[in-house]
Amino acid sequence: MFAYLVKRLISGALVVTLVSIAIFLLFWFGPSSPAQTICDRETSNRCGDRIEIYEKTLGYNNPVHEEYLKWAKGVFVGRDIQIASTTYECDAPCLGVSYLTKQSVSEELASRLPATISVAVGGAFLYLLFGIPIGVAAARRRGTVADKALVSSFLFLSSIPYYLFALLTWLYLTVLWEAPFVSDTGYFPITENPAKWFGGMFLAWVALGIFGCTQYTRYTRGAMVEALSEDYIRTARAKGLREGTVVYKHGLRAALVPVVTIFGIDFGILLAGTIFTERIFDIDGIGFWSLQAVQQKDLPVVAATALFSAVLLIISNLIVDVIYSVLDPRVRLS
Amino acid sequence: MSQPTAPETLGSLTDETSVDPNSTSAKEIAGKSPMQIAAGRLLKDKIAMACAFVILFFVLIAVFAGVISKLFGVSTDTVLASQYLDVLNGGMPKPEYGPPNGGFTMDHPFGIAPRTADDNLAYWLYGARTSLMIAGGATLFASVVGIVVGLLAGFLGGVVDKVLSFFVDTFLTVPFILAALTIAPILNERFNSSDNYPMIQKVSLVAVLAMFGWMGMARLIRGEVLSLREREFVHAARVLGMPTRRILFKELMPNLAAPIIISISLMLPAFVAAEAGLAFLGIGVTDGASWGRTISFAVTYFEQYPLYLWEPLIGVVLLVLSLNLLGDAIRDALDPKTRR
């Protein structure tokens, strides 16, 4: 187990390094000079020859591997970043300075994290809250009309692109009908006004939850149908256990293993920033931020958000594998 | 799969009426390949056939977009937009040119867009073309890469397998949207001074979609090849001295038809949705007709002019929905374990 963890951590670190190199190269060998945007912005579009000053101070004249090492060192110990005549201090973990706000990218990332975490936790909670009970209910009534109707309606729902579902939810409930409680979507800090925070997030959670739970219902139903046909379920019934105990204690426990795997990965994806959800419901989280950064060519921010989400996905994959081995004793990590 | 199987065992899989083995007519039962059995099942599936018709409808629209728009007398080129618009009313179309303030007109069956006065029908038709062209192109490239990587990794094994699997896993850890978000603008900017910018933008979109869409196919093929290469007919081919290339293409490929079809049926709807989604976010097609782009414009006008949003939205939903449902039916039909 320990050896396995070490192995996975090393390969995870390798992937993160590769991804960061890829992102770095992408901007380095990108089309226009990476310094062009910031130069245009600071000189109000009269950049001209001054581009050279920016290229020099940002290090775009040095060999690429030197600059990458400088960047990588900054992640661990911090560094000073000079843009034209101004020097910006960037503490560890330094992911650069935003070309737009001149703030440390990692600090801005941290300030937007609560919004993204709010979306992710609420959405993921509803995945399970809706998905598992509905899946269990469908499995217990397998083959009935209710089961068939549920399976086909959920198949229908999950075949629609998610962002259109979310967009219509928002357009009708918030914009058109101005439904109470969800009339103002967005992120409001929970510490200031919990009720407003809840109201702002509610619609995003529901949209995520309803759409995402279709997948969980499908997996729970499948695993539950299989588990309920096992011998130990028959034994449990034969020795006179109550039906509820049989289904939830003996059946569901075995059926939950595959559900946990998908859930871990989905939660990682949600934490990495749900671009569509945040864009549609006006939530100023990491996904929305990365989208804005792309549109405004704020390169350090784009690189940081891409790296951040890759790291989150790798970590969630690792955690899922470990949990899997704990839940299912037949799985042995090696 | 490729060994000849007795017709009797296959007969039980089909819905044909059983024939008395002693009667003379028994000889007429022809052996069916697994693909033929699947096709037979699919043809009986009413939902699948309805979906196939919808898809065919969109394909025809995409192919004949130019002809159809001429037929209706509409075009994507708008001359002197202001003559169609009610400038005092926030740039909404004048009532005589259709909704939301006027009724249906034959000149612009889908109405015209606010502010730009573009004809909605023409943009809708060409949007279908953009959507299917990009999704089809991306599926083609992603399939080729996926099949080659999967075949090589599964068949050669050893170091090759390790390296290729590492790449598959690495690509899987990069979230697709973020990758597209990062790469698409860079590719776009490189060529944005070029004359045929819209075309290059579409090509780069295909490249990005394919680059992050091939891993599922590669995984599926690799798994299948891993089990197939230990089968007797592959061993026999090797003992007979068949060159590796022929083993790959003559022995393995025919047995990979099912996983390939399944992956394609998953890819197509995902790419159609991704194309529209990226355009909606403003990072996909930004120059030319795309349903997603129209949707993102229409959000602002939704309260006054819902039809403007519904037209492209129905296009995307209908196409993605029928591709998904048809794909689901194909997967069921190909799976011999499906109960019916």
Q: Residue A244 above 60 pLDDT? A: yes
Closest CA to B310 of B85, A279, B281, B318: B318
Answer for the pair A169, B297: CB distance below 8 angstroms, yes or no.
Answer: no
Q: Which of A67, A94, A121 is the last residue of a domain?
A: A94
- B252-B257-B262 Cα angle (round to 5): 135
Which token pair is A140? 């217990």
Kindly state the average pLDDT of the residues A6-11: 86
Answer for the pair A33, A55: CB distance below 8 angstroms, yes or no.
Answer: yes
User: How would you classify the pairing of strands A86-90 and A79-83?
Assistant: antiparallel
What sign results for the dihedral spanned by CA atoms A127, B176, B199, A291? positive
Q: Is some CB atom of chain B closer than 8 A to the CB atom of A306?
A: yes
Amino acid B183: pLDDT: 75
Amino acid present at B42: L
In a domain, A11, yes or no: no
Buried b (16+ CB within 10 A) or exposed e, A176-214: eeeeeebeebbbbeeeeeeeebebbbbbbbbbbbbbbbb
Amino acid B201: pLDDT: 81
Q: Which residues contact B148 (CB under 8 A, 6 or more apart)?
A: none
A157 and A291 share one domain = yes
A30 sits in the region (left: phi over 0; alpha: psi -120 to 50; else beta) called: beta
The gap from C-alpha A185 to its chain's centroid, in whole angstroms, comes to 20
A123 and A57 share one domain = no
Answer for the pair A79, A94: CB distance below 8 angstroms, yes or no.
Answer: yes
Kindly state the average pLDDT of the residues A307-323: 84
For residue range B178-214, list pLDDT tens digits in order.
Answer: 777 777 667 666 666 667 777 878 888 898 899 888 9
Q: Do A30 and B313 touch (CB under 8 A)?
A: no
Cα–Cα dist A102/A112, whole Å: 16
In a domain, A63, yes or no: yes
A234 and A291 share one domain = yes
Q: Do B182 and A306 touch (CB under 8 A)?
A: yes
Q: How far is A19 from chain B (nearest CA, A)?
A: 8
Answer for the pair A331, A322: CB distance below 8 angstroms, yes or no.
Answer: no
A89 and A134 share one domain = no
Closest CA to A310 of A286, A326, A333, A280: A286
Q: Is some CB atom of chain B closer than 8 A to the CB atom of A290?
A: yes
Highest-confidence segment of A22-26, B72-76, B100-104, B293-297: B293-297
A310 and A283 share one domain = yes
Buried b (16+ CB within 10 A) or exposed e, B51-61: bbebbeebeeb
Q: Strand (E) positions, A38-132? A: 79-83, 86-90
Cα–Cα dist A26/B192, whole Å: 17
Closest CA to A301 of A26, A108, A141, A20: A108
In a domain, A139, yes or no: yes
Amino acid B55: pLDDT: 94
- Higher per-residue pLDDT: B317 or B79: B317
Kindly state the average pLDDT of the residues A19-28: 81
Please name every residue paired with A80 in a beta bridge, in sequence order, or none if there are none: A89
For residue range B83-95, list pLDDT tens digits in order.
Answer: 777 777 777 777 7
In a domain, A167, yes or no: no
Helix (H) or strand (E) holding B86: strand B85-86
In a domain, A192, yes or no: no
In a domain, A8, yes or no: no
Q: Residue A62 above 80 pLDDT? A: no
B31 sits in the region (left: phi over 0; alpha: psi -120 to 50; else beta) called: beta
Amino acid B71: pLDDT: 86
Kindly state the average pLDDT of the residues A238-246: 89
In a domain, A235, yes or no: yes
Q: Do A168 and B313 touch (CB under 8 A)?
A: yes
Neighboring chain A residues of B320 at a CB cutoff of 8 Å: 159-161
Cα–Cα dist A63/A72, whole Å: 15
Q: Is some CB atom of chain B closer than 8 A to the CB atom of A139?
A: no
Which of B173, B181, B316 is closest, CB to CB, to A294? Answer: B181
Model confidence at A293, in pLDDT bands (50, 70, 90)?
A: confident
Which token pair is B275? 């194309």
A124 and A226 share one domain = yes
Q: Which residues contact B51 (CB under 8 A, 6 or more apart)?
A: B321, B322, B323, B325, B326, B329
The model's pTM is 0.84
CB contacts under 8 A, B 258-277 vs A, are: 269, 273, 276-277
Residue B312 burial (CB count, 10 A): 30
What range does the domain containing A49 cover? 34-94
What is the rounded (10 degree) CA torsion for A117, B213, A322, A113?
-10
A296 and A157 share one domain = yes
Model confidence at A86, in pLDDT bands (50, 70, 90)?
A: confident
A80 and A126 share one domain = no
Q: Do B186 and A176 touch (CB under 8 A)?
A: no
A98 sits in the region (left: phi over 0; alpha: psi -120 to 50; else beta) called: beta
Cα–Cα dist B8/B111, whole Å: 60
Place of tokens 């129209």: B294
Q: Report the CATH number that the domain containing residue A152 is assigned in CATH.
A: 1.10.3720.10
Answer for the pair B102, B96: CB distance below 8 angstroms, yes or no.
Answer: yes
Q: Do A161 and B295 touch (CB under 8 A)?
A: no
For residue range A183-240, list pLDDT tens digits in order.
Answer: 777 888 888 888 888 888 888 899 999 998 998 999 999 889 988 888 999 999 999 9
Model confidence at B11, in pLDDT bands (50, 70, 90)?
A: very low
For residue range B110-121, list pLDDT tens digits in order.
Answer: 878 777 778 888
Cα–Cα dist B72/B95, whole Å: 20
Q: Is some CB atom of chain A closer than 8 A to the CB atom of B329?
A: no
Answer for the pair B51, B329: CB distance below 8 angstroms, yes or no.
Answer: yes
A148 and A74 share one domain = no
Nearest residue of A to residue B325, measured between CA atoms: A159
A40 and A155 share one domain = no
Q: Residue A8 above 70 pLDDT? A: yes
Neighboring chain A residues of B276 at a CB cutoff of 8 Å: 161
Q: Residue B318 above 90 pLDDT? A: yes
Answer for the pair B165, B153: CB distance below 8 angstroms, yes or no.
Answer: yes
Q: Is some CB atom of chain B closer than 8 A to the CB atom of A307?
A: no
Cα–Cα dist B174/A278, whole Å: 19
For residue range B227-264, list pLDDT tens digits in order.
Answer: 888 889 999 998 999 998 888 888 888 888 888 998 99
Q: How many Cα atoms within 13 Å fall on the side-chain side of residue A84?
A: 14
Q: Do A310 and B175 touch (CB under 8 A)?
A: yes
A222 and A266 share one domain = yes
Model confidence at B8, in pLDDT bands (50, 70, 90)?
A: very low
Q: Residue B15 above 60 pLDDT? A: no
Model confidence at A31, in pLDDT bands (50, 70, 90)?
A: low
Amino acid B315: pLDDT: 92
Cα–Cα dist B64/B67, whole Å: 5
Cα–Cα dist B263/A82, whole Å: 49
Q: Which of A42, A68, A94 is the last residue of a domain?
A: A94
- B75-B281-A179 Cα angle (round to 5): 100
Q: What does the mean pLDDT of chain B come to?
A: 82
Answer for the pair B213, B179: CB distance below 8 angstroms, yes or no.
Answer: no
Residue B8 burial (CB count, 10 A): 13
Q: What does the mean pLDDT of chain A come to?
A: 83
Amino acid B340: pLDDT: 47
Helix (H) or strand (E) holding B93: strand B92-93
Domain count, chain A: 2
Lowest mean pLDDT among A49-63, A296-310, B209-223: A49-63
Q: Residue B172 above 60 pLDDT? A: yes
In a domain, A107, yes or no: no
Cα–Cα dist B189/B201, whole Å: 9
Amino acid B36: pLDDT: 84
Q: Residue B5 above 50 pLDDT? A: no
Neighboring chain B residues of A19 at a CB cutoff of 8 Å: 170, 173-174
A84 and A210 share one domain = no
Answer for the pair B94, B84: CB distance below 8 angstroms, yes or no.
Answer: yes
Amino acid B171: pLDDT: 84
Phi then psi dihedrals of residue A144, to 5 deg: -80, 170
CB contacts under 8 A, B 33-62 vs A, are: none
Amino acid A83: pLDDT: 73
- The number of residues making up chain A comes to 334
Asked, as a colleague might, if the bond just before A93 is cis with ω within 30 of 0, I would say yes
Which of B175, B177, B185 is closest, CB to CB, to A313? Answer: B175
Q: How many Cα atoms within 13 Å fall on the side-chain side of residue B275?
A: 36
For residue range A125-153, list pLDDT tens digits in order.
Answer: 999 999 999 999 999 888 889 998 998 89
What is the rounded (10 degree) CA torsion for B96, B99, B102, B107?
40
